[in-house]
Amino acid sequence: MAAASDLWAAYSLRWRRRGLLARSFARHRHLTPIFDRMADVAKDAILCFSTIRNEMGRLPHFLDHHRALGVDHFLMVDNASDDGTMDFLTAQRDVSVWSTSHSYKASRFGVDWLTALMMRHGHGRWCLTLDADELFVYAHHDLRDLHALTDWLDITDRPSMGALMLDLYPRGPLGRTGSKTETDPISTIPYFDAGNYVMIRQPRLENLWVQGGPRARTFFHADPRRAPTLSKVPLVRWNRRYAYVSSTHSLLPRGLNHVYRTDGVEAPTGVLLHTKFLPEIVSKSVEEKRRRQHFENSDLYEGYYDALIDDPILWCDRSTRYHGWRQLEALGLMSRGGWD
């Protein structure tokens, strides 16, 4: 019976993947190319994909950080920004930009748009899919770039790499910490939760499901199961037949979710330093609550937005100051997994 159920699950997930791909292909019509520079991008280039809206407070450092890691070209979908984001991006020679005014929520929170671009431009390339408030780090990232990492992943037959999303926050109230556009956000919000995480393996998609951190203990302590998911699979050698299921938390085919080991040996993982809680979070929460574009069931998150608008303090006496990837590895939040 177990074998029969496995066959049925594989069959149903295959059709689900095809449905997601068809949906994404249809939504490529939502995208208007503003600057498509992909004709000049090398076949072995490492690409970074992102959907953005009004992110001028983060974009300069986001681009510089990932350029330093070895990203060769950025493909970005701008969802009706009005803060100068579009003008800034079109001036960057290593960025291709598409625009859309369609619903972010109806596009599976931008995933359909990015999948359409990945089907066309990502096939056969290593692709890093990120939000603008995520900074990817991994073991030795200060010495070895993404080309070295992905070469090693190819040699060790690993088509994907997982990462924990680590919420960063300031010591005081969220909205009262000064910052500048060009400033490294980690200097503004340098604290994180080191140990309050829960992890389970989801049997259907065979992915890891991690929850915890400051949002779980502050905003969802009464019902931790509603807390945001912190496990992602952002780095993948892409194939036009692949599809993200829920943000970058899981993929199909489900073998791409096997970013962990079950034999007692650690797999290589990274961390996404999550800069959501810069001072602008208070004003942005007012807008996000009004737009109702960021959660599948927005009514469930009314209290979450109200709490953010009240300018809370996430810091506590167990908060830890960020000092680099070696610290994260020592705390068990990332692993080099043989990448020495």
pLDDT in tens, 27-66: 999 999 999 999 999 999 999 999 999 999 999 999 999 9
- Rounded Cα–Cα distance for residues 128 and 144 (Å): 16
Tracing tokens 């919000």 back to the chain, one arrives at: 189
Lowest-confidence region among 145-149, 268-272, 284-288, 292-296: 292-296
Q: How far does the chain reach from its first CA to its final CA, in angstroms?
A: 43
Question: Residues 201-251: pLDDT tens digits?
Answer: 999 999 999 999 999 999 998 888 889 999 999 999 999 999 999 899 999
Contacts of residue 77, Cβ cutoff 8 Å, sequence gap at least 6: 31, 50, 51, 52, 97, 98, 99, 100, 110, 113, 114, 117
pLDDT of residue 296: 54
Structure tokens at 311: 């300018």
Going from N- to C-terminal start, the domains of the chain cover: 2-330
Question: pLDDT for 69-128, tens place per residue?
Answer: 999 999 999 999 999 999 999 999 999 999 999 999 899 989 999 999 999 999 999 999
- Cα 230 from Cα 131, distance rounded (Å): 13
pLDDT higher than threshold 60 for residue 186: yes
Residue 188 has pLDDT above 90, yes or no: yes
Count of H-run helices and E-run strands, the chain: 10, 15
Check residue 64 and give its pLDDT: 97
Q: How far apart are CA 83 and CA 96, in angstroms?
A: 18
| pLDDT at 2 (0 to 100) | 53
* pLDDT per position as a tens digit, 308-337: 888 899 999 999 999 999 999 999 999 999
Q: What Cα–Cα distance (Å) separates residue 304 from each residue in 136, 293, 297, 299?
A: 26, 14, 12, 10
C-alpha atoms less than 13 angstroms from C-alpha of 225 in its C-beta half-sphere: 0
